[in-house]
Amino acid sequence: MSQTPPDLIAEATKRAGLIWIVIDGQDHPCPAWHIWRAGPLARGAAYVVTGPGEQPLPGLAGAGRVTVIVAGSQASGGRVAWTAAVTRVEPGSTEWDEVIGPLVAGRLNAVLAEGETSPARRWATSGAVFRLAPVGTASVNTAAPNSRTVLSAAPPAVHPGGRLAGHRQRRHSQPVLSLATSVEVS
């Protein structure tokens, strides 16, 4: 059974842990973590957070539309691209109240300031939450055998703690050296 473009966009984006945002005027796509929320009347939208201590998405605030690339196995060829209308979600709005809880829950590695219990207040004052709502149709790339090769030209996103964003840190244990010695007793 074939999915319609809006359903394909929703399914692929909802399952993806990372999307790539192509912003006019930028040299390369920007990787971004997101959440997907479907509304009662709308098919849904991706929501992203940017600002101090969060993922850098330069130019997103001034963009009216962007291209969103989703890499994944939901489409043959491994990549779905769709056009999104960009809208800032205003703090205190009904939409803000609906998405802020899931965004906070999805932000696993949030760096909190002393006394801060949630990044939501910081996002309201010095950051921004954007809705990326699909407009038009989706294109499925069947020419690229592996979408990661297409997207690998972008520099890796770096977490404020200095580690690559989206990567779990491995614990490297030192090998245990055996200091067994033999002693002759006479």
Question: Per residue in 71-86, pLDDT tens?
Answer: 866 555 578 899 999 9
Q: For 141-185, what is each residue's pLDDT tens digit? A: 644 444 454 455 455 555 555 555 555 555 555 554 544 444 455
Average pLDDT, rounded, for the chain? 78
| DSSP-assigned states of every residue in 63-125 | -SEEEEEEESTTSTTSEEEEEEEEEEEPTTSHHHHHHHHHHHHH-TTPPPPTT-S-THHHHHH
Is residue 87 over pLDDT 90? yes
Q: What are the backbone dihedrals phi and psi of residue 137, each rounded to the nearest 5 degrees, phi first?
A: -115, 170
Evaluate whether the domain defined by 5-151 bears CATH number 2.30.110.10: yes
Mean pLDDT across the stretch 112-139? 87
Q: For 28-54, what is each residue's pLDDT tens digit? A: 999 999 999 986 556 799 999 999 888
Residue 28 in contact with residue 53, Cβ under 8 Å? no
Report pLDDT for 123: 92
